[in-house]
Structure 1
């Protein structure tokens, strides 16, 4: 499992650093904060790489860095139906960032930066073919007011909170992915090494690249031996 590989790597490095064991709950918290850091950095990374691409500094295909970042972002892309009630549409609870809102005929809604802009556009544009919206708390208000049907929202959701679940055997915590509240790492698998580094830093571990490589190789050997014995 993705989360157990990170857990075992951090544990091995913590022991190497003389810090001993740590609580799984603390590990889960540090891992979640590391995931949020990576998530929030994606938008900045895309803008930076697109600027480089526009200057002709990036090739296409597998070398296209912006596309690779977009693939990581797409892991969190989600769609849902929102319904009209009391003049507003309630937003999904797991929404973090908007992508697109469309109606039943694929008309795309344009966002307004404030209520003043919303009212100005609404007053001069009453066509349902050019709808607008503004976010108000956990809802959106749309115009024209004739729009009351269900809408489809595409958005980036919040990352799920990771949970390394375990069973205690002889006073030792053994990984148990069968637990009902287990949650694996909710992020593109390519981020594994960076998440290990970030979690270690939150535990106060000064990590160097050779340390990480040695830990990962050691973990792979342990998993190989376990699989071989079963």
Structure 2
């Protein structure tokens, strides 16, 4: 199945707000006040926020935000691009992904064919789309479905992915006592958001990591207990 990710995000935000969470848009984290091994406050462009616990879940900016607190994560950031065609009548009722072509296709509820593939091969924070990726994805799509060669593209975009060495997220504790991590999701998408959010909330509330999240600990890279999830989303990895 597919879902509109922006609608899902706003759905979570609306329910969180109804339950008492405060959401501050256009608020940039500029640093942390760290004393005696824990974060005392978050410094933003709109003021200082004292805190009991802090969770870093900043997507493609996770590495930079964690470094503000003096925590270096084993994360590298790469652009990930996708594009959509003009709307067509419904015909593709599943997601088609080719490992050899590094291309996937899925049809949206509006009829557009969403075409994507692997991350760009270089580290970069730019969200500009590129011609070479457009040509690569178009070639893969036409190879899979030749009739698409006459279909027009509507738009192309790029986002930033935060990749770990084993392509699996980092969830749990950090070297600072009250700083928690939910980082390195890379190209996994938002489908695990519900369970990750629930278990991270449990972690913060109880002050300890549940068994479900322990394999995703930051220390696994130091102890060589890596997770092999490179096949989870074949086109992107």
TM range (shorter): under 0.3
Greater helix percent: which structure?
Answer: 1
TM-score by length of 2: 0.22
Greater strand percent: which structure?
Answer: 2
TM-score by length of 1: 0.23
Please tell me whether Structure 1 or Structure 2 has the larger radius of gyration of its CA atoms: 1
Q: Which has the higher contact order (CA 8 A, sep 6+)?
A: 1
